[in-house]
Structure 1
């Protein structure tokens, strides 16, 4: 029987590569070379990678394709309905990155509240000549109200840090109620408008869908407290970036801690980079040595399991299995 063929469109750790090669032939392709990517997919059984968009047109002639594995929790680079119609399984890596991403979120909360990045730069520039005056003060985090828009895995891990570590009062919106977070962390489910009005920190933790695109726009920013800080570590387009820039410039809200943007990498001429009340990170949500390795391995195991027909978890489009 001929061996399966897997297209890898990102570099993989050597042990993960070795694991895949035990089960199939692996071909590497640079997703920036569109034609080579499409050609490689043509006779592939599966593909593994991250960040690159895979459109219906790209897999039109990929008749052998059975599974796609993304090294991420988000799957907005795929047309899921189209994949389901074609009987192609899409897998992702939701659990292994929960804790490290929640750490990143909390780093953004603390850095934004205490102006860590801004003041560290100020010290490095040689400006610390006397004790810090009130113009350099930040705001407390402990005891404040954190509003989480989307209390899933990562939101829940942030709620745990907030409630147990910082004694924060946690509000949330979610499609369904999160009973465990309510019981363990005293989280309270409210409507979005109430969350915006009452929260000192508003955290976006939703996937990017047609419903969540620009879920925070000019109207929502106006409903937030003037002293509030917006944190986004989900996907850039969940926030109307132009409206956010205006709100940060004119004091509609205090500050923003951002790990994600409309366009990534963030253009060097982005107005966000000129604002002192913005902490901007290069989409490092899960970027630790340990977690990225675990994600790559998890994605590889997902792919082989999907090709073997043994995978039961981490499947985005479960309906495919019923076919």
Structure 2
């Protein structure tokens, strides 16, 4: 692994804060290209000449695959504006001795905001009531109809169950505490008492059984696919709500759909789906106890500002011969 030389060339293909890019000009010759949302190889037409001389790249959606690495003989550092390097051929970078830095928790605050928005909208039926009102259903003949039709629950004194006590889960916890909620957290990597008086660390079944609202914030990996299935959903109270602004595959689709269809739980708020976008004939659109948002958990310019800040810190560390804070293939630093 080699650090930057004076005036290393930096190619940025991710959405990036121009102020952070300007600051990096003291260490790099910075070139910014229009971000592509296609998810294709970084070695895309129009930038291969710049990729060929780049010492470092910052990307988000572009794939740093073998074709990109072959087109970048000078490349010594990759920074991916993702929490994990899902768009990077990590083994190939490791073989080349190229560290791959990530931007963990870049969207933690904004995703926690969206999760709590879904919680509020779901338990207070704000989406359904707005659709009903926009359709012209509120009339003077029964001015109190919405008061009876859209009766929801308050959050104060209720119990929120958070599946996953990482960066997003902890931020959701802080928001819940501000609403006067009791908080339970399931996370096999947290020791009992790890969250002090803020939350109780409990088993998954216990959490599902005791919570008024369950919200999902675990990463998607082999151990979490299908983590919440029919047995876990069957433990939920009939008046409980389920919210997922994390990953759809953590939940068994038919198990949740059956519970909603049969009204065995009060409702759900979903920002993620098993097929995205859901097909036009999806049953989800016909269920009146479901609040839907189109995977907008990280949709904020604040995320760009945050991942730019983290990426800048990683680039400065590398440029001065230090190890960036979050590197997915740290073993490159041990090779000579």
**Common fold by TM > 0.5:** yes
Structure 1: how far apart are the matches of 2:69 and 2:256? Answer: 37
Cα distance, 1:75–1:265 mapped onto 2, change above 3 Å:
farther
Q: What is the number of residues matched between the two proteins?
A: 321
Match of 1:167 among 177, 180, 191: 180
- For residues 160 and 39 of structure 2, the distance between their equivalents in structure 1, rounded to whole angstroms, comes to 43
Other-structure match for 1:24: 29
Within-5 A mapping of 1:43-122: 44-55=54-65, 59=69, 62-78=72-88, 80=90, 83-95=93-105, 97-122=107-132
Offset, 1:211: 1.5
Per-residue CA deviation, residues 224-268 of structure 1 (Å, 9 max, x unaligned), is: 223222222223332333443333222233222222233444554
CA distance in 1, matches of 2:36, 2:107: 25
Q: Distance in 1 between matches of 2:67 and 2:230?
A: 36
2: CA distance between counterparts of 1:136 and 1:33? 42
C-alpha offsets along residues 187-222 of structure 1, whole Å, 9 cap, x if unaligned? 111221221122121111111212222222333322
Q: Which has the larger radius of gyration?
A: 2
How far apart are residue 115 of structure 1 and its match? 0.9
- SS of match in other structure, 1:231: strand
Aligned in 2, Cα 1:307/1:251: closer, same or farther, shift over 3 Å?
farther
* Separation in structure 2 between the aligned mates of residue 8 and residue 242 of structure 1, nearest angstrom: 42
Aligned to 1:34: 40
Question: Distance in 2 between the 1:320 and 1:68 partners?
Answer: 12
SS at 1:15 equivalent? helix
Gaps of 5+ in 2: none
- SS in structure 2 of the partner of residue 154 of structure 1: helix
Residue 196 of structure 2 corresponds to residue 183 of structure 1: yes
Match of 1:216 in 2: 228
Separation of aligned partners in 2, 1:149 and 1:141: 18
- C-alpha separation in 2, matches of 1:262 and 1:55: 26
TM-score of the superposed pair, with normalisation by structure 2 = 0.80
Describe the shift of the 1:247–1:91 C-alpha distance in structure 2 as closer, same or farther (beyond 3 A).
farther
Point out the more displaced range, 73-82 or 90-99: 73-82
Deviation by residue 1:44-68 (Cα, 9 ceiling, x = unmatched)? 4332232455445654664543332
Q: Paired residue for 1:144, among 158, 163, 168?
A: 158
The 3-state SS of whatever aligns with 1:305 is helix
Higher helix share: 1
1:254 to 261, 266, 285: 266
TM-score by length of 1: 0.83
Q: Distance in 2 between matches of 1:263 and 1:37?
A: 28
Of 89-98 and 75-84, deviating more is: 75-84
Counterpart contact for 2:36–2:62, Cα < 8 Å: no
